[in-house]
Structure formats: C-alpha cells, structure tokens
Amino acid sequence: MNPINPELLSIHIPKTAGRTFREILKSQYGVNGVLSLDHYYLTKQNEQLADHPTDRYPVIHGHLPYRQISKVALPSSKYITWLRHPVDRVISNYYHYRDSVFPAKQKRNP
C-alpha cells in the first residue's frame, strides 16, 4: 500500500541553502521521491502546482509560495522552510545578482 502523499512540503526561500536541502531530501527519499518545481517555471509554462502528480511524491520542494503549495497539502502534511538572517540574505542576494548574467545587464549595440 502506498503512503498518502505528499508528506513533506518544503518551501525554498531564495538564498537559504535550499539546493543543499533538496539534495539531502533526495538522499533520504530517493531521486524519484522529490518533486522540485518553482513558481517561475510554472508561470512560464502557464501551469499550476496542482497540474502535476503531487500525490505521487512524498516530498514537494521549491520556490513555491504557501498559498500555492498549501492547495496540494493533506491534513497530515508537514511544512518546512529555512530562514536566514535578513542582512546576510540581502548581501548574498546582491552578490548573486551582481555576478549573474541577466538579459537586462547585457550591453546593447546602438
């Protein structure tokens, strides 16, 4: 008999070690036991989290707002998220965006 899923809903707040935590989840639940999505991907695909087979995964993890992830939760589901000191998070975000390549940062030829 399959367990009732999802049992764990992990809300990944940017710059709070979410990728590391996702890898830990995969090591515990298996690669096929973790559904990892984010709201940017879903929006770009014109999808909702509920469009995915969330009941097949014991863990759902990603950049997903509570209002979206709670729609697939069961009464027995547990939530987890990581927090970071706000100043450290802002500094980390600054360096992340400064060092990333985004279309808006690319020089344009006149």
Residue 3 included in any domain:
no
Q: Which domain holds residue 24?
A: 8-104
Do residues 50 and 72 lie in contact, with contact meaning Cβ atoms separated by under 8 Å? yes
Residue 109 included in any domain:
no
Structure-token pair, residue 65: 């707002």
pLDDT one-digit tens code per residue, 62-95: 999 999 999 999 999 999 999 989 899 889 888 8
Residue 1 included in any domain:
no
Do residues 38 and 64 lie in contact, with contact meaning Cβ atoms separated by under 8 Å? yes
Q: Report pTM.
A: 0.78
Residue 2 included in any domain:
no
pLDDT one-digit tens code per residue, 21-40: 999 999 999 999 999 998 88
Report the number of distinct structural domains present in the chain.
Answer: 1
